[in-house]
Amino acid sequence: MLKKIPIISLICAVIYVAAIKIITVTGLTMLQIPMLAPFVSVSIIAIPLYFGMLHIRKVHYDNSINFSQTFYSGVIISVFTAIFVYVIFYLLEMSNILIPDLILDNQLTAEAYIKAYKPSETEIAEIHQNTKNSMAPFVFAQVHFIMVLLISAFSATILSLFIRNKDTFTEIKK
């Protein structure tokens, strides 16, 4: 089982980074739709995670898996995915490929927010400080590592309830 998990995690990470690039290039972050970004992030991570957990259930557990086995495999996939996302963003920042687009997109989003909602001067100063902080080295890698780890671990917990097909508690009583 552990031989396939890095491959599944790498697929999840590549899909996540490609989706971030597509969202940035198409300008979807400029849309001021509430809950669009979290929904897209969860969908991008949960769909490959679901198929990876199904693959593990089918191939390694002979299509009979309980919650703890599913949860374990989901958390392991989540950790590996977060590590791969961190490494990919780290390498992209070192080679200067995706990160300038994300920084520019972050600045444009901040300007659009200021124009749309007209915050106070202290809020504007805070927005500019946050935008300046996002230009620090490897901030995007660290932020996306934490985001992917939390979102995928939470998704793995929920998906484990749907993927399991044996009851853990009746197994213990036997």
Distance of alpha carbon 109 from alpha carbon 88, whole angstroms: 24
Q: What percent of the chain has pLDDT over 70?
A: 85
Residue 157 lies in a domain: yes
Residue 31 lies in a domain: no
Q: 121 φ, ψ to 5°?
A: -65, -35
pTM beyond 0.95: the answer is no
Residue 109 lies in a domain: no
Task: List, in order, residues 6 or more apart from 64 with CB less than 8 Å away.
Answer: 57, 165, 166
Residue 60 lies in a domain: yes
Domain that holds residue 13: 5-25+40-94+141-168
Residue 70 lies in a domain: yes
Residue 35 lies in a domain: no
The single-letter DSSP state of residue 39 is H
- What tokens appear for 152 in the block? 């995928």
Instruction: Determine the Cα angle at 34 with ends 155 and 18, to 5°.
Output: 55
Residue 162 lies in a domain: yes
Q: How many domains does the chain have?
A: 1
Q: Which of 2, 32, 27, 4 is nearest to 114 (CA)?
A: 32
Distance of alpha carbon 30 from alpha carbon 151, whole angstroms: 22
pLDDT band for 172, please (50, 70, 90 cuts).
low
Residue 19 lies in a domain: yes
Other CB atoms within a 10 A radius of the CB of residue 32 amount to: 11
Residue-wise pLDDT for 15-69, tens only, equals: 888 888 887 777 766 565 656 667 777 888 888 899 988 888 888 888 888 888 8
Please check whether residue 73 is in contact with residue 56, taking contact to mean a CB–CB distance below 8 angstroms.
yes
At residue 173, does pLDDT exceed 70? Answer: no
